[in-house]
Structure 1
């Protein structure tokens, strides 16, 4: 199912009304070489939005979460998974609000479980140590709590998931192990070349940027090839021309007029992917 004209207009209006800062985020020396199979990438390309959010913070068992709901009752819900900058990042809350405006109860849980997220001012030489207790594949307890909350407290019967960078890896994990999640969208999640990464249980859309030095195109091509060989669930791998890591939720839309259509297209794609399966 494609977006209605009303939904498209809401999306375009939300995009056009964003207020974002002029300060570019810190870029680490050697960032281009950091990404590979062992390292979720530091998603610091882009800008921190100046955005307050339309939802509220709630307690879900042992974790906190940001929850935003559509204007009318809905049994559709989406788990929105943050990047290394954590669940309170305005950019991620904006994406949750965007999904809520299109009929989804959106929940962005703190999958770091109270641990400090990465900060722009942190020393990148400490990144691997910081990451040790924040593995994107060690989130089942938290995801189970969120699924229970959505079902029992929000009346959700059709649940999907989307994640960005670190959250893209986490979303890929959900697509492999949670068949009750109807569809997943992994947005520039680092690719790990291990055998159990391809037997998806949920239909999954993978979004990448052509100029993403963190995730080289040869890795993306291998992912697509192996999915074609081994995956029985529906999937799509889409590469956006000229785009860098972080473009869907962290890139200034006005930094280059040529970028804006791709940012909007990627957001439309993830909405259409969800609507197709719920």
Structure 2
């Protein structure tokens, strides 16, 4: 187990100073950030936060990017008001913090979001994109919700379910080569088992030289060596959604 001297491997990265374009709304017992495209759309993407919470500017930036590409984007507070992880916290306490914030225990909130999108926004096609904690959640939802048309799990794997390779929704998995949270042997095992057991379309892609969080927690303008990979991953994300939505 990690001790006080060991920093959190899930680094917050380049925290963006970003003024989001959408608005916060109340959905049943929790809040959500919603941003809509410039023209009417019946397609929506649920954006699932990382451990730093639904208000992280980087995550809202990704939601706004999806809206700029024609999707209604909604980023719910899946921690339901509980405090997100902080870079100042002791990593040895992470598992204790996680106990009441399991990415595989969000069905109640997901069902409420699906109802909101259908009833309040006229949505007919729904996809999911998640980062880190949200990448695990995205993988989880792809196992349970066949109505989800497409999923993009960005550095996240469900590890504890026996049925974790039996996807119901086409899913793209994006990983970083130098990820201390998800070693490459776990990625290889995921891909091998999906090849054997998965009945829907999937893709597993590893980005060379990158670290955990690179798609949304590295700013391409101040990381020139990483910029092509950041942009390529975001393009892959959009292409996957466009293909199945």
CA deviation string 1:188-226 (max 9, x = no partner): 014516431100000000000111122111110110000
Partners of 2:160 and 2:204 in 1: CA distance: 16
When residues 253 and 183 of structure 1 are mapped into structure 2, their CA distance, relative to the original with a 3 A threshold, is same
Partners of 1:209 and 1:230 in 2: CA distance: 24
**How many angstroms does 1:43 deviate by?**
2.7
Matched position secondary structure for 1:159:
strand
Q: Tell me whether 1:107 sits opposite 2:74 in the alignment.
A: yes
Contact 1:168 1:185 in 2 (8 A): yes
Matching residue of 2:62: 95
Matching residue of 2:36: 69
Indicate which of 177, 184, 201 corresponds to 1:217. Answer: 184
Structure 2: which 5+ residue stretches go unaligned? none
Partners of 1:179 and 1:201 in 2: CA distance: 5
Contact 1:76 1:105 in 2 (8 A): yes
CA deviation string 1:114-154 (max 9, x = no partner): 11111122222221111100000000000000000000000
Matching residue of 1:267: 234
Partners of 1:261 and 1:191 in 2: CA distance: 28
CA deviation string 1:2-49 (max 9, x = no partner): xxxxxxxxxxxxxxxxxxxxxxxxxx7445xxxxxxxxx863151111
**How many angstroms does 1:256 deviate by?**
3.6
Computed over aligned residues only, the root mean square deviation of the Cα atoms, in angstroms, reads 1.4
Matching residue of 1:227: 194
Instruction: Tell me which moved more, 167-176 or 212-221.
Output: 212-221
When residues 194 and 234 of structure 1 are mapped into structure 2, their CA distance, relative to the original with a 3 A threshold, is same
**How many angstroms does 1:255 deviate by?**
4.1
Partners of 1:74 and 1:162 in 2: CA distance: 18
Q: How does 1:115-154 map to 2 (within 5 A)?
A: 115-154=82-121
TM-score normalized by the length of structure 2 = 0.95
TM-score normalized by the length of structure 1 = 0.84
When residues 116 and 217 of structure 1 are mapped into structure 2, their CA distance, relative to the original with a 3 A threshold, is same
Partners of 2:83 and 2:135 in 1: CA distance: 19
Matched position secondary structure for 2:237:
helix
Contact 2:12 2:87 in 1 (8 A): no
Partners of 1:193 and 1:87 in 2: CA distance: 24
Matched position secondary structure for 2:216:
coil
When residues 157 and 66 of structure 1 are mapped into structure 2, their CA distance, relative to the original with a 3 A threshold, is same
Matching residue of 1:177: 144
Partners of 1:147 and 1:42 in 2: CA distance: 32
Contact 2:151 2:170 in 1 (8 A): yes
Matched position secondary structure for 2:214:
coil
Structure 1: which 5+ residue stretches go unaligned? 1-27, 32-40
Matching residue of 1:157: 124
